[in-house]
Structure 1
Amino acid sequence: MKPFLILQLRPEAEASDDEYAAFLAKGGLDAADTVRFRLEQEDIPADLNLDDYSGVIVGGGPGCVSDAPEDKPPLEAKIEAAILDLMPQITQRDMPFMGCCYGIGVLGAHLNAEVSKRQYGEDVGTTHCHLTQDGARDPLLAGAPTDFHAFVGHKEALQELPEGCVHLLASPTCPYQMVRFGQNVYATQFHPEADSDGFETRIRIYKHKGYFPPEDAQRLIDMCRAADVHVPERILRNFVRRYGG
């Protein structure tokens, strides 16, 4: 099969490496099945040809697309611009795409929907996802129960369903947990690759990034370790199986 293009936005090497390992493990991929770009270290090549890839997977990151340009650290602004520059090709071609957490903000911003911190931010932990009618019919959610838990932690969120998108998953605290644009462009607010070990790593790395009071880190780690979160990884595996050929 053609490789999957994995684009990562995390400036911290440990967080980036852990996320990449999770994409491989939960997606059923080998490193040879992927082409990885850490965008804090390298640019997307100007001659990148999406025909060379089975699909594109975008990971999470500490940035927010809704932050004012003057408030973004230069590295985060550079990474965000690189992803946004690629989105017109992805949506116009209806390229298989899976945007995880930060990726739903990128997709929403590209489609001119409101992405902001006005409401629907979720504390680090788990959220209760519920299939919509469209979600129950979507191939990436095949085999998923009507209700399940997923790991989240985000300051901004979609405030509306972007034009051209189908609403697949909702939660009481954040209505747009998963959407699809066209037939093949997907984005989740939660982390489909995350498990308790991975979230412990992120809690430790990001405990001074404003997601939670630093003194709450151990409590959050204990909560995540006690959580039953297994369904979201099926979504990532279904994405790889559907588009990997």
Structure 2
Amino acid sequence: MTSPRVLVVQNTPKGSPRRLGDWLAADGLDLDVVRAFDGATLPDRLEHDALIVLGGGYMPDDDTRATWLPKTRALTTQALERHRPMFGICLGGQLLAHVAGGKVLADAGAPEQGSIPLTLRAEARDDALFRDLPSVVNAVEHHVDAVTALPVGATWLASTERCPYQAFRVGELAWGVQFHPEASADRILEWDEDELRNQGFDRQHLYRQALADEPDSTRHWRVVARRFADTVKRQHG
């Protein structure tokens, strides 16, 4: 039997799958990463077994600056309609919410940067990816835009003080997260230092905190990645 194939939409030069891609490959998935920001063409039809949409500094309908977003939304719709597993990160999670009928706003509330504690809700206890995680887990955040209303019928899985909708599920097979499970602490050193300072953050402090949190957070997000891979393989089989 061939390995399940996953279509990965990359929206920015530095926004690659990083360690998430390594984890999913180790768990038996074949990833086709499309560098959409660089002019690579997305397919019109989702023939892959699953879809991952990564982060990027755009709104889900920012079609003028990111001309590939209409196709990305169409592929997300197909994943929902055809019951293909989908995982959306940051922009990808916002795009999932948007496609499914939720609301996303630019500059919504206070920005979140660095390693942030997430509080898992009771609904996460029965979720295929988030079950049995600790009630509070850390993850790297890097955003000012946010989901402000979940789609009707979506399952709300995790929150933070500044941004309530940190993780959610649409149906049984599509997950959106505001945080970056693919990002290790080193990613913070690539962020714009002046922009962080203007928001009231010190990049070195953020890096040191994320580095301290990384052993535990890496373990938890590795479990989530494995469970997503298992979900894809079950649907493929």
Report the TM range for the smaller structure's normalisation.
0.7 to 0.9
**Per-residue displacement from partner, 1:170-203 (whole Å, max 9, x unpaired)?**
22221111110011011111112121123333x2
Q: Which residue of 2 aligns with 1:8?
A: 10
Read off the aligned partner of 1:159 and give its amino acid letter: T
Q: Secondary structure in 2 aligned to 1:115? A: strand
Aligned residues: 227
The CA deviation at 1:161 is 1.8
* Alignment of 1:54 onto 2:49: yes
Runs of 4+ displaced beyond 6 Å: none
CA distance in 2, matches of 1:62, 1:223: 24
Partner of 1:23: 20
RMSD of the alignment, in Å?
2.6
Separation in 2 of the partners of 1:180 and 1:128? Answer: 19
Question: Using the alignment, how far apart are the partners of 1:212 and 1:180 within structure 2?
Answer: 34
Which residue is equivalent to 2:148? Answer: 159
Within the candidate set 210, 213, 228, 1:224 is matched to 210
Q: Quick check: 1:115–1:156 contact (8 Å CA) kept in 2?
A: yes
Higher relative contact order, structure no. (Cα contacts within 8 Å, ≥ 6 residues apart) = 1
Sort the Cα spacing of 1:109 and 1:31 in 2 relative to 1 into closer, same or farther, 3 A: same
Label 1:207 to 1:109 Cα distance change in 2 as closer, same or farther (>3 A). Answer: farther
Q: Secondary structure at the match of 1:77?
A: coil
CA contact (8 A) 2:46 2:78 kept: no
Which piece of structure 1 moves more, 36-45 or 180-189? 36-45
In the TM superposition, residue 166 of structure 1 has moved relative to its aligned partner by 0.6
**Which region of structure 1 is more displaced relative to structure 2, 128-137 or 183-192?**
128-137
| Distance change (3 Å), C-alpha of 1:31 and 1:42 | farther
The answer to whether the 8 A contact 1:154-1:211 is kept is: no
CA contact (8 A) 2:101 2:150 kept: no
Give CA-to-partner distance per residue, 1:98-120, whole Å, 9 cap, x none: 00111111012212322113634
User: Secondary structure at the residue paired with 1:227?
Assistant: helix
C-alpha displacement of 1:121: 4.5
Task: Extract unaligned runs of 5+ from structure 2.
Answer: none
Q: CA 1:152–1:45 in structure 2 vs 1: closer, same or farther (change >3 Å)?
A: same
Q: Are 1:77 and 2:76 counterparts? A: no
Note if contact 1:23-1:29 (Cα within 8 Å) is conserved in structure 2: no
Q: Which of 227, 233, 237 is equivalent to 1:244?
A: 233
Deviation at 1:34, TM superposition (A): 1.3
- Contact 1:168–1:180, Cα closer than 8 Å, also in 2: yes
AA in 1 matched with 2:198: P
Equivalent position to 1:97, from 65, 86, 92:
86
Q: How far did residue 37 of structure 1 move?
A: 0.6
Amino acid at match of 1:35: D
Q: Which residue of 2 aligns with 1:184?
A: 173
Amino acid at match of 2:7: L
> The residue matched to 1:65 in structure 2 has which SS?
coil
Partner of 2:133: 144
Match of 1:213 in 2: 198
**1:134–1:167: 8 Å Cα contact kept in structure 2?**
yes
**Structure 1, gaps ≥5 residues long:** none
- Comparing 182-191 with 56-65, greater Cα deviation is found at 56-65
CA distance in 1, matches of 2:113, 2:189: 11
Query: 1:152 deviation in Å?
Result: 0.5
CA offset digits 1:65-109 (Å, max 9, x no partner): 37xx5xx7x4x4213223112222122223200001111110122
Q: TM-score, normalised by structure 2?
A: 0.84
Which of 165, 180, 194 is residue 183 of structure 2 equivalent to? Answer: 194
